[in-house]
Copies of this chain bind each other. A is one copy, B any other.
Amino acid sequence: MATRPMYEVIRADLVEQITTGALSSETRLPSEKELAEQYSVSRMTVRQALDALERDRLVVRRRGSGTFVAPQRVRSRRLNRLGPFRDDVAGNVDAVTTIELRREVLKPPSDIAKVLGLGASDEAVQLVRLRTVDDTPAAVQDSWIPCAVAPGLVRSNLIDGSLYRTLAERCGVAVSWADQEITASPATKELARWLDVRVNAPLIEAHRTTHDEAGRTVEYACSWTRPEFPFVVRLDA
């Protein structure tokens, strides 16, 4: 049986009530004690669910007072997510396409080899893609994946254009998190042609190091994104 932990069930239940508006902004949730009774679990289990909601900013806890649904403008899908390119684009878009510009196996330049933790003779797959959103070219992504991580990748068709889905479903590699450096750079002649902008037009340049659950580096990627498609991140104190 696909028995999820109770705190996940409670969490999902509360998320639904909040997003559908059954529990509206600023209203108080039942107390932890009451929720424990409602779901027939102990209070510690309820707290596991509420901890997750608090981390996602769906609720605000006030000691001595209660747990409240966060203000409307403050709630949103979880941010800082590593996911399919489609999810990186702010707002809802349906028409995301992928054009593969290049895929081959080669020895990466030494700086990239170092980031990937590869020896001098280890090879990697280079995958360059152009992503478009609603027929507008949005980003060029240049990814390097060690062959040792995903041996079959160079021969796999990308599922839905998504590298991460392909790694997960065809190569058994689950990407888990990444560090990303974001800066700005002028479009080169080549990028300008792909992205349909003028040479030297400002682009969002990002360098990403992607890891699996154990901390192994599974990808290094550079991307250049048109400024109409900003990156959204959440920061904590």
A-B residue pairs in contact (CB < 8 Å), sample of 15: A70-B215, A80-B80, A80-B234, A82-B237, A90-B181, A174-B237, A175-B237, A177-B237, A179-B235, A180-B235, A183-B229, A184-B203, A184-B227, A185-B227, A186-B201
The count of identical subunits is 2
Cβ of A93 within 8 Å of any chain B Cβ, yes or no, is no
Of the residues B175, B216, B234, contact of A180 by C-beta under 8 Å: B234
Cβ of A211 within 8 Å of any chain B Cβ, yes or no, is yes
Residue pair A60, B214 in contact (C-beta under 8 Å): yes
Chain B residues whose CB sits within 8 angstroms of the CB of A200 once the complex forms: 200
In the complex, A205 Cα to B70 Cα: how many Å? 28
**Which residues of A, 175-206, contact B by the 8 Å Cβ criterion?**
175-186, 200-205
Cβ of A39 within 8 Å of any chain B Cβ, yes or no, is no
Chain B residues whose CB sits within 8 angstroms of the CB of A90 once the complex forms: 181
Chain B residues whose CB sits within 8 angstroms of the CB of A152 once the complex forms: none
Give A203's nearest chain B residue, CB to CB.
B184
Chain B residues whose CB sits within 8 angstroms of the CB of A71 once the complex forms: 215-216
Give A78's nearest chain B residue, CB to CB.
B236
Of the residues B44, B62, B175, B215, contact of A60 by C-beta under 8 Å: B215
Give A187's nearest chain B residue, CB to CB.
B202
Cβ of A83 within 8 Å of any chain B Cβ, yes or no, is yes
Given the known inter-chain contacts A117-B73, A215-B74, please indicate yes or no for A233 contacting B57, CB distance below 8 A. Answer: no
Cβ of A79 within 8 Å of any chain B Cβ, yes or no, is yes
Cβ of A2 within 8 Å of any chain B Cβ, yes or no, is no
In the complex, A60 Cα to B216 Cα: how many Å? 11
Chain B residues whose CB sits within 8 angstroms of the CB of A228 once the complex forms: 183
In the complex, A234 Cα to B178 Cα: how many Å? 6
In the complex, A60 Cα to B181 Cα: how many Å? 23
Most chain B CB neighbours (cut-off 10 Å) among A82, A90, A202, A232: A202
Residue pair B211, A74 in contact (C-beta under 8 Å): yes
Most chain B CB neighbours (cut-off 10 Å) among A44, A62, A177, A235: A235
Give A201's nearest chain B residue, CB to CB.
B186
In the complex, A203 Cα to B186 Cα: how many Å? 9
Residue pair A204, B177 in contact (C-beta under 8 Å): no
Given the known inter-chain contacts A82-B235, A235-B177, A236-B82, please indicate yes or no for A184 contacting B213, CB distance below 8 A. Answer: no
